[in-house]
Amino acid sequence: MNTDTLVSIRDLHKHFDISGGWLDQLRFTGGRFARRKTLVQAVNGVSFDIMEGETVSVVGESGCGKSTLARTVMRLYPPQAGEVHYRGRRIDHLSREQFKPYRTRMQMIFQDPYASLNPRMRVRQILEEPIRFHRPKTSGSEVLDRVAEIMQQVGVDPEWRERYPHEFSGGQRQRISIARALAVDPEFIVADEPIAALDVSIQAQILNLMMDLQEKRRLTYLFISHDLSVVAHISNRVAVMYLGTLCELAAIDALFDRPRHPYTQALLSAIPRLGAKGFQHQRLTGDVPTPIDLPSGCVFHGRCPHANDRCAREVPTLRPQGQETLVACHGVAEGRLPD
Amino acid sequence: MDRQPLLSVRDLEIRFRMRHGDLTAVNRVSFDLARGDRLGIVGESGAGKSVTGFGILNLVSKPGYIAGGRLLFEGRELTALPEEDLRQIRGNRISMIFQDPMMTLNPVLTIGTQMVETILAHRAISRAEATAIALDRIRKVAIPSPQKRLQQYPHEFSGGMRQRIVIAIALLNSPALIIADEPTTALDVTIQADILELLLGLCQSEKMGLILITHDLAVVSQVAERIAVMYAGTIVEIGPTAQVAGNPQHPYTRGLLGALPQRVPRGGRLNQIPGMMPTLTRVPEGCPFSNRCTLCEEVCRRRVPPLEPKAAGCLAACHLLD
């Protein structure tokens, strides 16, 4: 194993049971009643490593399981199967108490800064809480200094510490959520669509802030986004997800210059481009299947222009293609896809 | 170019009555749209782009009202028309497409019923004829097995398919103008590209005018022939797409384009416009952008710059441009 691996995700599975109570589960089939469970298979066997100091982005369309993956890594959801390792130690099976020290090392930023800040707490209280909880020995004046220092770092005037979240704009609020994540000096930050709710000029401010903070504090990011041009800008490596599985994992230049997986190719071709006339994107046929009823074989085969019998039967595994790319595709592995 | 534009908006002003006096959401907005022309209106949230779109159809809901200006559509002054005549223009000559197709479609009626009713509201024809038109439009938006689809309810469609249905409904009475307000914002990128391509193709084949309202500059640049950039209720720059997207003049447009990750080398610093758009109660005097503009001079704080032709070939509202 590489020595500077920070987080290692191994064959992670997360399913949600949406079948409700046992009465809801009853189905009348073949002349008798049977109990059926309905499972949403949100994440199915995802594995990858995150190195110290890098930004790994997870992209995919809505419902592909990218947020579930982020939350499972953060242990906001318990995984069904698979392991998460942090600096070589397995953390997914730890008890709440055992996990506590890791909470100061890994923090999360959420999409909606309106929903993720408690409207009844002042900014000072929001930022003090993690410090007081994780470092109970800190004195009152130290906590205050710390709050002022972080507010300064994220570009919110410390004079405003007695205000409530509703008194701030969306961009300011997202700065406060970033400040809250930084309050306990984490190494690893999971950001779930941190700029999706913001306007373009504000998005730029937050992205710049995140890149500056990464440089200053040597942060490692797991960045979840659906916006490919943002991802292209800030990531070192990108993981492309489709229907709960990883299709392609590649270094940023390799991915954008030479996407290998047919889904990645379609996704990249659909990015709206400034100054492009008309459309040259690859059209995908068919609708996105639901994660309740996963297709057999490769999850993408129903919409893939290159699918054959093997794709419908056999689940492809991630295989290295060149130096910096891993692709899960029979067609690429067999070399029958056009370049 | 036609002698007479399809739509001519002159000094449109839309205000909202508030307890502490009126708020001006759209401030003296003017533009022309020729028959079959495609205009994109871009801006950040609160810039007044949607209100402008609603204003054209006089659909601004209370406490908002049109406080001034003229709206000339196919030679008729829309602001002076009685409600009944306006209703005949809406959905007939001008159609609107909204962001969320689930909100636009009635969840308890089949697609067929909704489409047929829309036609019958505007035309005196039989149900069978109306159904034939509905089928034709469903084919136009490339939905497979149209016969079967007409009998289904909105929840049986995916997001992209629903937006296609909404477009089909907008097309029912062969309108001369479609106003699309963030039509693809709720959709995934691959579907967004499909829908935009469809919309673009339809505008070209049916010779329809389009006003595309969106926050996404890249989307607009792919579809529209001209772009109007709005800021705090005013148009700050308007011109041909290649001009506005390739060689922006107004400092706000430049800032906005510089903030796009696509325009900056990977990993480089994005241009950021300091501050944020003022709320309508606090628009600065003079140029509305003056408090965020890095080039701001004395004159910018005193006088509102008029939207006028600049050397580069676009119209821009800035004192500092020649």
Query: Which residue ranges make up each domain of chain A?
Result: 5-105+186-334
What is the predicted pLDDT for the residue at B1? Answer: 45
Within-domain flag for B284 = yes
pLDDT at B3 over 70: no
CB within 8 Å: A277 and B161: no
Q: Which residues of B touch A201 (CB under 8 A)?
A: 44, 255-256, 259, 272-273, 276
Is the minimum CB–CB distance between A272 and chain B shorter than 8 Å?
A: yes
CB within 8 Å: B270 and A270: no
CA B6 remoteness from chain centre: 15
CB B99 within 8 A of CB B186: yes
Within-domain flag for B263 = yes
Within-domain flag for B213 = no
pLDDT in tens, B121-142: 888 999 999 999 999 999 989 8
Sign of the dihedral through C-alpha B290, B291, B295, B300: positive
What is the predicted pLDDT for the residue at B240? Answer: 94
In this prediction, the answer to ipTM > 0.85 reads: no
What is the predicted pLDDT for the residue at B110? Answer: 95
Is the minimum CB–CB distance between A169 and chain B shorter than 8 Å?
A: yes
A64 contacts: CB under 8 Å, gap ≥ 6: A241, A242, A243, A244
3-state helix vs strand vs coil in chain B, percent to 5: 35, 25, 40
Within-domain flag for B225 = no
Superfamily, domain A5-105+186-334: P-loop containing nucleotide triphosphate hydrolases (3.40.50.300)
% of residues, chain B, pLDDT over 70: 99
Three-state DSSP state, B295: coil
CB within 8 Å: B221 and A274: yes
A274 contacts: CB under 8 Å, gap ≥ 6: B217, B218, B221, B245, B257, B260, B262, B263
pLDDT at B2 over 70: no
Within-domain flag for B200 = no
Residue in B with minimal Cα distance to A233: B266
**What's the pTM value of the predicted model, to 2 decimals?**
0.88
Determine the residue among B270, B271, B291 to mutate to test chain A binding: the one whose Cβ has the most chain A Cβ atoms within 10 Å. Answer: B270
Within-domain flag for B205 = no
Q: Which residues of A touch B156 (CB under 8 A)?
A: none
CB within 8 Å: A281 and B256: no
Which residue in B245, B269, B272 is closest to A274 by CB distance? B245
Q: Which residues of B touch A290 (CB under 8 A)?
A: none
Cα A203 from Cα A196, distance rounded (Å): 8
pLDDT in tens, B217-275: 999 999 999 999 999 999 999 999 999 998 999 999 999 998 888 888 888 888 888 88
What is the predicted pLDDT for the residue at A339? Answer: 65
How many structural domains is chain B composed of?
1
**Buried-exposed string A272-309: b where 16+ CB fall within 10 A, e elsewhere:** bbbeeeebebeebeeebbebeebeebbbbbbbbeebee
Determine the residue among A57, A199, A277 to mutate to test chain B binding: the one whose Cβ has the most chain B Cβ atoms within 10 Å. Answer: A199
Chain B positions contacting chain A at CB under 8 Å are 44-45, 158, 160-161, 188-190, 192-194, 196-197, 200, 215-219, 221-222, 242, 245-246, 255-264, 266-273, 276-277
What is the predicted pLDDT for the residue at B262? Answer: 84
Within-domain flag for B79 = no
CB within 8 Å: B189 and A228: yes
What is the predicted pLDDT for the residue at B178? Answer: 95
Mean pLDDT for the stretch of residues B102-120: 91
CB A277 within 8 A of CB A284: no
Cα A73 from Cα B3, distance rounded (Å): 63
* Nearest CA distance, B239 vs chain A (angstrom): 14
Of B126, B129, B100, B130, the residue nearest B115 (C-alpha) = B130
Residues of chain A short of pLDDT 70, as ranges, are 1-3, 339
Which residue in A169, A200, A233 is closest to B267 by CB distance? A233
Is the minimum CB–CB distance between A209 and chain B shorter than 8 Å?
A: no
Q: Up-side HSE of residue A320: CA atoms within 13 Å toward CB?
A: 3
Give alpha helix (H) positions in A78-227: 96-103, 123-134, 140-154, 170-182, 200-217
| Cis peptide leading into residue B63 (ω within 30°) | yes
Within-domain flag for B98 = no
How many other C-beta atoms lie within 10 A of the C-beta of residue A57?
26
- The residue range of the domain holding B307 is 245-322
CB A222 within 8 A of CB A189: yes
Cα B204 from Cα B238, distance rounded (Å): 22
**Of A338 and B168, which is predicted with more confidence?**
B168
Mean pLDDT for the stretch of residues B41-63: 90
Cα B97 from Cα A11, distance rounded (Å): 43
